């Protein structure tokens, strides 16, 4: 069967669990790019002594190294399920599949053509529990066999058996497994009765006959709670119809908080899918926002990438999820304090570069990565923007001890005063090379963010002191050091390295040290557009980055340049898959992974910035949309304590602005040539229309 060029297995998640579903509506053994279908749990890992290779880690041609005090913590492929169909004793092969993922329901719909037989499949990972539900409706009676097996389809490369032991009960379609750190059970059932149990060399099977079937597959482990049969019965007891209704309501409620309607079908699919993904990847226990919960997407680890997802959630009115993303850092403060004190000999807080959901170091033998510190600046930005978008002083007060801890560490362990004034010593930069660089742009900007956010929070909370004033003074000095990196066209990577890197844009966005209207930011935008017209070559390979497109388009949009922002965003089209996911990079026309939520969040924020901007005194609606967009709308995007809705139709804009903060807010509203001074009490709404 020929698949679409943009086909990838469909990602489904509920925060804890993640599955990839194939073109059959169930799992399939085919490897697409780097992924096969499997079931993962967000922080259930391979035992270190079972790892042979680690996806994307170099060098790939040597035995995997391990380091004391640091694990690779590679997420383990726990199990898989699939099915086979026969009619009149003849096995049927799938000839064609048309699939549609509906993010607002969290459901994958598949129209399946088996030649003489046709079927419709409805597949979802239950939002409220570890249960994969697959429902099939055939147009004539068939024999349907469901399969359940442990681990990987094929042992190769990094896809190796993760278990110390596995046991399957073929008569009951049940199983147990041992991962060392956790252990769990497999469950499968098939409706309607009568059902006949059986087995193959690797799998439990359940077979039934008829036209309509529902297959349930669950993986539960000891960290979740009970492993008794009664827990699986509790999950499946409502039946398919009730579970379907419950699933639709859960995701409908989530999507009701905001909507964006773009005049482009591909990007609309992307936007809606990303809205689903950001909820579907967030760990419900830790609150952590990983890149994703798949093996290749860095195994559910937490990086600086969480900033992008948390910001996209804030902008789109998913305030609870954004707040829980911040609370991950509260829950891992002991590990951050230990990392600062034991590994750097400093007081305060420092989060390691790449951590698990319980705060453990997660970069194996790449121990130089502990000297990459700019992730902490991104985390400070998360705390600050939680306040910035909501004007919730209670949230700022809650995270103030973390800001103070970060400022303490950076003042004691990172900032130095030399003959030239304040600067930072040699650190690992965004290039992640073991070769350290001095005064790297991203690290400088991250340090300024930490010190200024702490000082600003101290002032707002009436907790100013000599230390907060010193932090502000040092931040001013570091800003001067950032100024020295500007080379007349853009900001160089670091002192002594006159190259364009992530640092060249990071100082403008996301770290927001250089104002987007600063003349230096404007020449940086010129450089962005110059490079957008050239084929992107990196180390001799064509290298397309959706993540970079999102960041660069956001900068252009902040400058009011909607035409160029839209042009840059469209460079990410080849990075998108059928179901709305994005790759990290497209190398020589091949995706290196899919469902890379960092890129998805960066692009989503670029769209938000084209639609709505604010700075505390001004609120701009449709500040950077291209002229070709004749109709576009959004509901309940958030900025500076305002929830804003607006629709552009036939040259007329209708909109509302509501104060959702706990304090009275004032701002000047700009919408094209329409201007209005607003002063709204909590809960008060302003309605407007422009000609």
Concatenating the DSSP letter of every residue in 339-380 gives HHHHHH--SS----SSB-TT--B-STT-GGGGG--HHHHHHH
Q: Sign (positive/negative) of CA torsion 107, 316, 379, 402?
A: negative
Q: Do residues 162 and 123 share a domain?
A: yes
Cα 515 to Cα 558: distance, rounded to the nearest angstrom: 9
Strand partners, 634: 260, 646
Residues 238 and 284 reside in one and the same domain: no
- The answer to whether 357 and 286 are in contact (CB under 8 A) is yes
Report the half-sphere exposure of 346 (CA within 13 A, side-chain side). Answer: 20
Is 245 in a helix, a strand, or coil? Answer: helix
Q: Is the pLDDT of residue 62 over 90?
A: no
**364 near 72, Cβ under 8 Å?**
yes
DSSP state of 576: B
Residue corresponding to tokens 């001004």 = 618
Return the minimum-mean-pLDDT range out of 65-69, 103-107, 139-143, 646-650: 65-69
pLDDT bucket at 53, cuts 50 / 70 / 90: confident
Burial level of 171, CB count in 10 A (0-12/13-18/19+)? exposed
* Interval 652-665: pLDDT, tens: 999 999 999 999 99
Q: What confidence category does residue 54 fall into, taking pLDDT thresholds of 50, 70 and 90?
A: confident
Same domain, yes or no: 238 and 290: no
Residue at a domain's end among 193, 212, 245? 245
Residue 641, domain member (yes or no): yes
Asked whether the predicted pLDDT for residue 61 surpasses 80, the reply is no
Residues 142 and 224 in one domain: yes
Predicted pLDDT at 89: 94
Q: Is residue 407 part of a domain?
A: no
Q: Tell me what the pLDDT averaged over the chain comes to.
A: 96
Q: Is 113 within a domain?
A: yes
Report, as an integer, the average pLDDT of 568-579. 97
Nearest Cα residue to 657 out of 631, 323, 671, 392: 671
Helix (H) or strand (E) holding 653: strand 652-659
Give yes or no for residue 228 having a pLDDT over 90: yes
- Model pLDDT, residue 406: 98
265 lies in the same domain as 121: no
pLDDT value at residue 431: 83
3-state secondary structure at position 595:
coil
Q: Is residue 387 included in any domain, yes or no?
A: no
Asked if 235 and 280 sit in the same domain, the reply is: no
Task: Classify residue 380: in a domain, yes or no.
Answer: no
What pLDDT is attached to residue 17? 98
Find where tokens 């050091």 sit.
481
Going by DSSP bridges, is the β-strand pair 183-191/174-178 parallel, antiparallel, or unpaired? antiparallel
- Tell me which of 245, 268, 285 is where a domain ends: 245
Distance CA 326, CA 401 (A): 13
pLDDT recorded at residue 1: 87
In angstroms, the CA 608 to CA 522 distance is: 20
Q: How many domains are contained in the chain? A: 2
pLDDT of residue 430: 87
Same domain for 226 and 304, yes or no, is no
Taking only the tens place, the pLDDT of each residue in 459-503 is 999 999 999 999 999 999 999 999 999 999 999 999 999 999 999
Query: What is the model's pTM?
Result: 0.98
Do residue 681 and residue 547 come from a single domain? yes
Show the 3-state SS of 180-202: CCCEEEEEEEEECCCCEEEECCC
> Residue 112 falls within a domain, yes or no?
yes
What is the band of 43 on the pLDDT scale with cuts at 50, 70, 90? very high
- Residue 227: pLDDT over 80: yes
pLDDT for the residue numbered 519: 98
Give CA 537 to chain center in angstroms. 26
DSSP character for 629?
-
101-155 per-position pLDDT tens digit:
999 999 999 999 999 999 999 999 999 999 999 999 999 999 999 999 999 999 9
Of the residues 223, 245, 267, the one at which a domain ends: 245
Of 261, 275, 272, 347, nearest to 629 (Cα)? 261
Has residue 292 got a pLDDT over 80? yes
Return the SS3 of 551.
helix
Percent of the chain with pLDDT over 90: 93
Q: Has residue 609 been placed in a domain? A: yes
Which residues 6+ apart lie within 8 Å of 5 measured at CB?
none
Neighbouring residues of 342: CB distance < 8 A, sequence distance ≥ 6: none
Q: How confident is the model at residue 82 (pLDDT cuts 50, 70, 90)?
A: very high
98: domain CATH number is 2.70.98.40
Which two three-digit tokens encode residue 630?
């004749």
User: Do 652 and 604 sit in the same domain of this protein?
Assistant: yes
Q: How many CB atoms lie within 10 A of CB 517?
A: 10
Q: Is 399 left (phi over 0), alpha (psi -120 to 50) or beta?
A: alpha
Residue with tokens 């193959």: 200
* Burial group, residue 278, by CB count within 10 angstroms (0-12, 13-18, 19+): buried
264/305 same-domain check: yes
Q: Are both 153 and 105 inside the same structural domain? A: yes
Same domain, 236 and 282: no
Poorest-pLDDT segment among 53-67, 329-343, 659-673 = 53-67
pLDDT score of 68 more than 90: no
Task: Look at residue 452 and tell me if it is in a domain.
Answer: no
Is residue 208 over pLDDT 80?
A: yes
Predicted confidence (pLDDT) per residue in 602-618, tens digit? 999 999 999 999 999 99
542/135 Cα distance (integer angstroms): 42
pLDDT for res 653: 97
| Domain with 193 in it | 10-38+77-245
In this predicted structure, what is the pLDDT of residue 93?
97
């Amino acid at each position: 069967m020929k698949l679409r060029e943009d086909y990838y297995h469909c990602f489904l998640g509920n925060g804890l669990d993640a599955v990839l579903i194939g073109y059959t509506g169930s799992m399939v053994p085919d490897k697409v790019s780097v992924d096969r279908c499997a079931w993962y749990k967000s922080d259930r890992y391979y035992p270190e002594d079972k790892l042979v290779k680690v996806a994307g880690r170099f060098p790939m041609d040597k035995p995997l190294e391990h380091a004391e005090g640091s694990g690779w913590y590679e997420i383990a492929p726990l199990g898989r399920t699939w099915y086979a169909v026969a009619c009149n004793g003849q096995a049927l092969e799938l000839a064609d599949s048309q699939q549609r993922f509906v993010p607002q329901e969290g459901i994958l719909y598949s129209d399946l053509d088996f030649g003489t037989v046709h079927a419709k499949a409805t597949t979802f990972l239950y939002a409220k529990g570890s249960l994969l539900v697959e429902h099939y409706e055939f147009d004539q009676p068939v024999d349907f066999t469901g399969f359940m097996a442990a681990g990987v389809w094929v042992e190769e490369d990094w896809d190796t058996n993760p278990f110390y032991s596995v046991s399957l009960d073929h008569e009951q379609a049940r199983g147990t497994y041992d991962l060392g750190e956790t252990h769990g059970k497999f469950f499968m059932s098939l409706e309607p009765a009568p059902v006949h149990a059986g087995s193959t060399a690797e799998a439990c099977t359940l077979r039934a006959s008829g036209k309509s079937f529902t297959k349930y597959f669950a993986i539960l482990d000891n960290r979740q709670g009970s492993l008794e049969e009664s827990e699986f019965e509790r999950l499946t007891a409502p039946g398919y119809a009730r579970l379907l209704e419950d699933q639709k309501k859960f995701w409908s409620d989530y999507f009701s908080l905001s909507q964006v309607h773009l005049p482009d079908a591909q990007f609309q699919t992307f936007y809606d899918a990303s809205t689903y993904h950001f909820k579907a990847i967030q760990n419900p226990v830790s609150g952590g926002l990983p890149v994703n919960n798949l093996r290749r997407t860095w195994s559910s680890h937490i990086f600086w990438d969480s900033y992008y997802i948390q910001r996209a959630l804030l902008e789109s009115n998913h305030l609870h999820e954004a707040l829980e993303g911040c609370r991950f850092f509260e829950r891992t403060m002991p590990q951050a304090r230990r990392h600062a004190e034991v590994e750097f000999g400093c007081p305060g807080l420092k989060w390691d570069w790449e951590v698990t959901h319980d705060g453990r170091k997660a970069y194996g033998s790449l121990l130089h990565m502990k000297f990459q510190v700019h992730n902490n600046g991104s985390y400070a930005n998360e705390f600050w923007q939680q306040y910035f978008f909501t004007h919730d002083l209670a949230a700022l007060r809650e995270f103030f001890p973390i800001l103070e801890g970060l400022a303490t560490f950076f003042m004691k362990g990172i900032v130095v005063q030399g003959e030239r004034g304040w600067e930072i010593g040699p650190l690992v930069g965004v290039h992640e090379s073991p070769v350290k660089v001095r005064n790297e742009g991203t690290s400088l900007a991250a340090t300024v963010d930490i010190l200024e956010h702490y000082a600003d929070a101290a002032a707002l909370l009436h907790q100013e002191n000599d230390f907060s004033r010193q932090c502000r003074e040092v931040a001013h000095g570091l800003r001067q050091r950032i100024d020295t990196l500007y080379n007349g066209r853009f900001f160089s990577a670091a002192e002594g390295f006159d190259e364009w890197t992530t640092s060249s844009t990071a100082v403008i966005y996301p770290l927001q040290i250089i104002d987007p209207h600063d003349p230096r930011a404007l020449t940086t935008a010129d450089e962005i557009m110059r490079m957008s017209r050239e084929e992107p070559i990196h180390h001799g390979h064509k290298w397309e980055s959706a993540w970079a497109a999102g960041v660069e388009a956001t900068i252009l949009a902040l400058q009011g340049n909607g035409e160029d922002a839209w042009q840059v965003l469209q460079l990410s089209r080849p990075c998108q898959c059928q179901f709305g996911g994005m790759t990290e990079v497209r190398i020589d026309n091949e995706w290196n992974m899919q469902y890379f939520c960092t890129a998805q969040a960066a692009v989503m924020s670029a769209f938000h910035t084209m639609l709505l901007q604010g700075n505390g005194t001004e609120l701009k609606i449709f500040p950077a949309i291209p002229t070709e967009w004749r109709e576009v709308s959004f509901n309940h995007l958030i900025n500076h304590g305002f929830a804003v809705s607006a629709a552009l139709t036939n040259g007329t804009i209708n909109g509302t602005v509501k104060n959702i903060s706990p304090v009275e807010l004032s701002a000047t509203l700009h919408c094209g040539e329409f201007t209005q001074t607003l002063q709204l009490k909590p809960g008060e709404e302003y309605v407007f229309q422009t000609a």
